[in-house]
Structure 1
Amino acid sequence: MQLSISLLEITRAIDSWLNSAFHPHVAYGIELVLAGVAVILLVVAMAILMVYAERKLAGFMQMRLGPMRVGKWGSMQAVADVMKLLLKECLVPTNSDKLMFRVAPFVVTIVSFMTLVPIAFAKGIQLWDINIGVFYITAVSSLSVIGILMAGWSSNNKYSLLGAMRSGAQIVSYELSGGLALIVVVMMSGTLSISGIVQAQADGWWVIKGHIPVIIAFVTFIITSTAELNRAPFDLAEAESELTAGYHTEYSGMQFAMFFLSEYTNMFVLSMVAATVFLGGWMPFHLAGLDGLNHFMDYIPGIVWFFGKTFFILFLIVWFRWTFPRLRIDQLLKLEWKYLLPVSIINVLFAAFIALMGWYL
């Protein structure tokens, strides 16, 4: 908690200094630029870290070492990959829709960055404490499918188009169950605000005190998040054996890097949402009636709790990739429409009854 307080004090000190040195409107503009730069640096650093961690986890699960050649234990391999993509030429197919082809990576990347806005990293460390934070995230994140369809159609490549159509169908389908999973916690918290949901878990995380409906919602959300990310075992949109590289087959250089970055950004954002909504966000582990344990847990800074929970969710998503085989497209859609969606609808009704009766802890 001490680190969270110090971060809050730093942001307030910067705000007061800028307002004293510049006109309030200029100071506000500078704060927006600083916040944007901080988010970009955080996302890029997390993407590089996650690429390296995923390769090492994959190596461990497959009883091999993973990257070992660039840097100590291969720690600079991801940095080398970034440098390679920065230096490569961005090629545009001759018969493509060139404007749409160039715009698509920016649409996907901007949407993934916009979803970070209402996330509360620690107490008071939040870009925008909007009162409809959960609705904002679900609404904005759904826009990424537009960029994917633009990329697939503008490439003038049948594999790209087929990958984009698969991805669109997959994202639209699994958003239903993912949204219903979030509604369960929203009903019990009584608010759509991210900070309000975190505060509602001061006496216990929802996955613990919300009983069976929240546990079902948590499992459903992890499955649907993996599907919306187009990651294995739901990576039909990028099935190498069928579609080369899916909707970004024709992309190279930084344009491909932007798709790659947006995938890891979305992976990061969805993990943070799951950690916030179901696992208390930056809130320490508290149990009602155990004051000694709760006091001990308060010594761990909130931002450490937040990123620890986020990395736990990221580990689950990576674990899925290297454990389960790829589904066929009919199996993928059957899982959503015949199983997850009916279960989610029944679970919402069950959670509404529990919330109405006040039976959660």
Structure 2
Amino acid sequence: MLSFFFAESMFNLVLNIIIILIGVAFFTLMERKILSLIQLRVGPNKPSYMGLLVPFADALKLITKENNIPQGSNKLLYLLLPLFTLMIPLNMWVLNPSNMSSLTTKSGLLFFLCLSSLGVYAIMFLGWSSNSKYSLMGAIRSVAQTISYEVTMAIIIIHHVIINMYMLKNLGVTPTNFFIIIMVMMMISMLAESNRAPFDFAEGESELVSGFNTEFSSIPFVLIFLAEYTMMFFMSLLCSLLFFSTHLYMFFFLLMVFFFIWARGTLPRFRYDQLMMMAWKSLLPLVLGSLLLITST
């Protein structure tokens, strides 16, 4: 009986990973299509019908490229860290309600916060192991950005949980306007946490030559690329579960995914000082003040 449950769990895990990776592949096609519409240009449309084979062509192109290991790099970390980076967001998907996981109802948010904190170490050592000043500078910037917005995001999640536990229980009403403000702050934190435009400073091409992943190519680069998009997918799922109806969370999940694309296609990149100022002088004091006000009442 135990071996049966273990085999079933492994099958569900592998199936979820395959579905997520296929979803990421076709999301890149959807992203390029929507960006082309926003920018009034022709997107990918040549391979197969409406360019449906573009993700597979991109994957084949990247995998068959030569994997150049920089001289003087830490080869063990250089080769293992991209896989570790991808495993972090993949493990977060155990919290998907469709998995019927015990973590979903017991300690899911704590599990998410613990795993998300590991991403900082992965990015830092990715830049350091490459033995490149551009990669190291990109890693340092990304770590500072991730830590700043991870603190804000954690407090926003705690804030939301306290509202659900106390205000709704005692008052029996949902403070909709207040939830909208908290949701907007959560969406901003999602963009910064995922290193997505307009907060993609970890990969600033103009000043960092692609940032912490500068020296990565072939399969290691594919793993880092998949990790970024898988994390973006999970952030969209988390926001939809926190702020919207459980029965309609997949619909709002798609809206959150579209929000990532819309932000990339329409908003200009912030300056780095503006990013840090918004985290420490705007979002964090606002959510801390609101949390203090709610807990004191």
Instruction: Answer 1 or 2: which has greater helix percent.
Output: 2
2:250 pairs, out of 292, 307, 316, with 307
For 2:266, the aligned partner's letter is T
Q: 2:134 is matched with which residue: 132, 140, 159? A: 159
Residue number among 139, 159, 172 corresponding to 2:147 in the alignment: 172
Q: 1:336 aligns with which of 279, 282, 290?
A: 279
Aligned counterparts of 1:112 and 1:322: Cα–Cα separation in 2:
24
Does the aligned pair in 2 maintain the 1:118–1:129 contact within 8 Å?
A: yes
Partner amino acid, structure 2, of 1:41: I
Rounded to whole Å, the distance in 2 between the matches of 1:233 and 1:169 is 16
For 2:20, the equivalent position in structure 1 comes to 43
Offset of residue 234 of structure 1: 0.5
Could you report, residue by residue, the CA deviation over 1:165-213 in whole angstroms, capped at 9, with x for unpaired residues?
Answer: 000000000011111211222113329xxxxxxxx9xxx9xxx933333
Residues 1-361 of structure 1: matches in 2 within 5 Å? Answer: 24-121=1-98, 125-126=100-101, 128-190=103-165, 209-281=174-246, 283=247, 305-352=248-295
1:263-310 deviations in Å (ceiling 9; x for gaps): 1100000000000010123x2xxxxxxxxxxxxxxxxxxxxx332111
Query: Using the alignment, how far apart are the partners of 2:54 and 2:105 within structure 1?
Result: 39
User: In the aligned structure 2, how far is the partner of 1:185 from the partner of 1:80?
Assistant: 42
Which residue identity is paired with 1:63?
L
Structure 1 residue 127, shift from structure 2 partner:
6.9
SS, match of residue 88 in structure 1: coil
**Identical-residue share of aligned pairs (%):** 33
Which residue of 2 is the match for residue 21 of structure 1?
A: none
Deviation of the 1:49 alpha carbon: 1.9
Using the size of structure 1 for normalisation, the TM-score is 0.77
1:324-360, Cα deviation, whole Å (9 max, x unpaired) = 111121111011011111111122234446xx6xxxx
Tell me the TM-score normalised to structure 2 length. 0.93
CA distance in 2, matches of 1:142, 1:263: 15
Identify unmatched segments of 5+ residues in structure 1.
1-23, 192-199, 284-304, 357-361
1:202-244: CA deviations, max 9, x gaps? Answer: xx9xxx9333332111001100010011111101110011111
Aligned counterparts of 1:330 and 1:168: Cα–Cα separation in 2: 14
SS of the residue corresponding to residue 95 of structure 2 reads coil
Per the TM alignment, residue 128 of structure 1 is displaced from its structure 2 partner at its CA by 4.0
8 A Cα contact 1:52 1:78, kept in partner: yes
Indicate if the aligned counterparts of 1:213 and 1:350 stay in contact, CA closer than 8 A.
Answer: no
**Structure 1: distance between partners of 2:101 and 2:282:** 36
Residues 213 and 347, structure 1, Cα contact 8 Å, conserved in 2: no
Q: State the AA in 2 paired with 1:311.
A: L
Partner Cα separation in structure 1 for residue 195 and residue 209 of structure 2: 15
For each residue in 1:109-158, what CA deviation from the matched residue of structure 2 results, as whole angstroms up to 9, or x when unmatched?
1111111112213xx74474351111211221121111111110010000
Aligned length: 294
